Each structure stands twice: as structure tokens, then as C-alpha cells.
Amino acid sequence: MELTQEEKEILNGVQGRSAAKAMQILVALGTIYGAQRMLPVSSVQIAGVSYDNLGEAGLSFLDEMAAGGGRTQVLATLNPAGMDVENWQTLGISPQFAAQQQRVLAAFARMNVITTCTCTPYLAGNLPHFGEHIAWAESSAVCYANSVLGARTNREGGPSALAAALTGRTPAYGYHLAGNRQPDLLCEVQARVEGTQAFGALGKAIGDRLQAAGQKIPFLRGVEQASLEELKALCASLATYGGTALFHMQGLTPESGQVTLPTDAISIQPADLEQAVASLNDADPAEVDFVSLGCPHLSLREVAHLAELLQGRQVRGEFWVTTSRPIKQIADRMGYTHVIEASGAKLAADSCCVVAPIKGRFQAMATDSAKACYYAASKNRFKTLFKPFDEIVMAALKPLAQPKAQS
Ligand code: F3S
């Protein structure tokens, strides 16, 4: 790779040993993928934050990078941690885990990474604009940034995202190059798609077809409208089941009018969506002992809607609502948190049902998230019930008390 004078100096340790290590990681990555040069990035999202996934080895790496003088050069934010940082006891997290998780966050903070702890950085102050080169980890957010925002990022891993944060650079390959953003599969959506669960099912149906065909970038035609929440559900699901980092959607995503339509085409029929839904439902409703909403983290609109549904009602069993800290703070101010917690549900910031250490705690999880279903089964060995958001909430409510009969 051809490096600038400054990049060579970073590599030679002029900016300290952690920056040098970071540059080594990026040069190795660029060499593997045939990059000619580095690109400056303006925004980084770092994954690999939960101590449940990092373990001691990951924590030592972070400590070493912080001790070696590693400091972020650009806006850098964090993915969810293994617990609600301010209220971890409510989620049944052990003090031992909490202590280790705090050490992870302290190491990031020492490097000036902003400890947002959310997988929706675009709703929490890290919102890149069209065409901006960024280095994001977190597959759902990568898909959202590339597709919905039109920013440019590869799917970074935890170490390469941290390396980008410490140097302000990323190798110029993959989705950073315009020629690599062309779609390779036309998906004619001939089904009505509405709501986060349906968009998650659409992501699974298309993702499975992409995997089978070895294709990467779908162009969706036939979806007439999609809300922010539906798009974030689609991104999470496409990334999970199709390994997708970028899609185009006619009339809805910013590059959709600039790309060439692929000749390979499939159609998605109502039966494909039904099959995707059925494949993620292996729990009997009576078995459900855990409800989880907020994968990806809930938006303000979703939290407000949930508060409406839970107003004056009680839920049975463990019910988690996961979101980012800024949205939780607005929910506190608006009284949504009070309504949700009065129902017995837990409004947890900073974390989620996938990165929290809950393996073995539950038998069957109900969710509207296709991505959460995948990890509930593969990581935590839970059965799953995959239903629309409102249905999940309604099924979790205790019956209303009957008014006493007049004597
Ligand atoms: Fe976010 Fe956790 Fe889902 S990180 S996308 S809520 S698995």
C-alpha cells in the first residue's frame, strides 16, 4: 500500500505504540483486500463491547491499547455493553460481571471513545451524511449507514474499527469504492410489508436467497414506503441472514436512482414471508418466559408507542425493553419510563438480549426482531416466538381485573 508521510510516521511509532499497532492492523487489512491507499474517516462505531463476548483476552487488548497512548482522532462511539451501565442490578447481572464490564468501558473512555453503548449510533449523535467515509462495526448499523444514509463503510470488526478510531484512517477497498456499490440481485417484492416484524421477515427471506446464490447487494423493488423503524429492522435482518452490508430500495434509498439494475432477479411472494416467519417460530406461546423488544435499540417513537400500550396494565414474566441512553433519558422526561416500569417491564439502556450474559436463564423468548431470534437460538439456546410488536406486547399483558358485581 502507498502510505502518506504522516501514515508512515504513525506506523513507525511517532504517535505512540498504540497508534503504530493500529496502523499495522489497517495495513495488514488493506494488503489482504488489495487496497492501494488509506482513506480518512470521520466517524467510527466500535463493536465488541460486552465482557460476555470479549472475555479477559479482549479486555487485556483494550487495556494495552489505552496504556500505549491510544487516543481517538475522530468521533468514535460504542456498541451495546453486557448490561445497563447505571442500573445493571435490575437485569439480574452479577456484581463480578458488572465490575469487568466497567473495566472494559473505562479502557474505551481512556482512549476518548464516547461510551454511547448503542447499536443505533445514528439516533444518538453519530449520524454520517451521504458519501462520507466512515469505519463502522455492528452489522445492522453498517447496513443502515451504507444503504439508508448513503455513507460508505465496510463491515469492520472490533479491532479494525478501534484501529480506524486511533488513526482516523481506513484502507480504501470494498464499499468505499463507488464501483463496489452496484447491486447484483433484483428482488421484486410482490407482498405487502408493514411493521418491524414483517420487514425482519423480508430481510430473512432475501438474506437466505442471497446466501444461497452467493450474492451480496440486493436491489429491492416494490416496497412503497418504509419508516425509520422498519428500515432498521430490515437492515438488522438482512445483515444477519444475508451478510448484507448494503442494499438499494427503489425510491427510498439515496443511491437507488444512480445504480444499474442487475439482470439476476427473484421475486418475494407472501408465501416467502410466511415461510420466513414460520422458520423463526419454534416456541409455543405458553412456553414464553422472556419478552425482549429493542433489537436494534428502540427509537423514541417505538418507546412512546410501547408506553401507550402498557399504560395502566401489568405484564407477566420478564420483559426487557432495550434502547440507547439518550432515548431513555427523553423517555424519563416524558414519563414513558414511569409507565413502562409501572407495568413491570424493564426499560434498559446500553445493552440488549444478545450481548447480556443470560444464557440458560430463560426457555423461550418472544420478540419482533428477526435478528434477535437468530442469536437467541444460536448464542443463548432459547426457543423463539416471532410476532409483530403490538401482538408481543398484548400477549404479555395480565388480564384486566374484572369490576366487582353490584350487590
Ligand atoms: Fe443491537 Fe443487540 Fe440487536 S447490539 S442489533 S440490540 S443484537
Confirm if 248 and 222 have CB atoms less than 8 A apart: no
* Nearest in space to 263 (alpha carbons), one of 185, 206, 180: 185
Q: For position 407, what pLDDT does the model report?
A: 59
Atom of ligand 1 nearest to the CA of 236: 5
Confirm if 71 and 163 have CB atoms less than 8 A apart: no
* Nearest in space to 40 (alpha carbons), one of 128, 148, 112: 128
DSSP H helical ranges for 179-227:
196-213
**pLDDT single digits (tens) 182-231:** 999 999 999 999 999 999 999 999 999 999 989 899 999 999 999 999 99
Residue 392 CA, ligand 1 centroid: distance in Å:
18
Testing ligand 1's pocket by substitution, the residue of 54, 117, 371, 379 carrying the most ligand atoms inside 8 A of its CB is 371
Pairing of strands 38-40, 169-171: antiparallel
- The kind and range of the H/E element at 385 are strand 383-386
Peptide bond into 296 cis (omega under 30): yes
Sign of the C-alpha dihedral computed for residues 195, 376, 217 and 263 taken in this order: negative
CA distance 356 to 97: 10
Q: For position 210, what pLDDT does the model report?
A: 96
Residues whose beta carbon lies within 6 Å of some atom of ligand 1: 79-80, 119, 140, 236, 295-297, 322, 352, 354-355, 371-372, 375
Helix (H, G, I), strand (E, B) or coil at 311: coil
pLDDT at 14 over 80: yes
Residue 391 CA, ligand 1 centroid: distance in Å:
21
Residue 347 CA, ligand 1 centroid: distance in Å:
15
pLDDT at 402 over 90: no
Whole-number mean pLDDT of the chain?
Answer: 97
* Nearest in space to 43 (alpha carbons), one of 178, 140, 141, 109: 141
CA distance 258 to 112: 38
**Average pLDDT score over residue span 308-333:** 98
Q: For position 404, what pLDDT does the model report?
A: 75
| Region of 224 on the Ramachandran plot (φ > 0 left; ψ -120 to 50 alpha; else beta) | alpha
Residue whose CA is at the smallest distance from ligand 1 atom 1? 296
In this structure, what are the phi and psi dihedrals at residue 338, rounded to the nearest 5 degrees? Answer: -60, -45
In this structure, what are the phi and psi dihedrals at residue 272, rounded to the nearest 5 degrees? Answer: -70, -40
* Nearest in space to 104 (alpha carbons), one of 87, 81, 132: 81
Burial label for 12, CB within 10 Å (0-12, 13-18, 19+), is exposed
Residue whose CA is at the smallest distance from ligand 1 atom 6? 295
- Residue with the larger pLDDT of the pair 407 and 41: 41
pLDDT at 298 over 80: yes
* pLDDT above 90: percentage of residues in the chain: 98
**pLDDT single digits (tens) 332-378:** 999 999 999 999 999 999 999 999 999 999 999 999 999 999 999 99
Q: For position 406, what pLDDT does the model report?
A: 66
- Taking the CA atoms of residue 64, residue 68, residue 74 and residue 78 in that order, the dihedral angle to the nearest 10 degrees is 20
pLDDT at 47 over 80: yes
Testing ligand 1's pocket by substitution, the residue of 295, 299, 378 carrying the most ligand atoms inside 8 A of its CB is 295
Residue whose CA is at the smallest distance from ligand 1 atom 7? 354
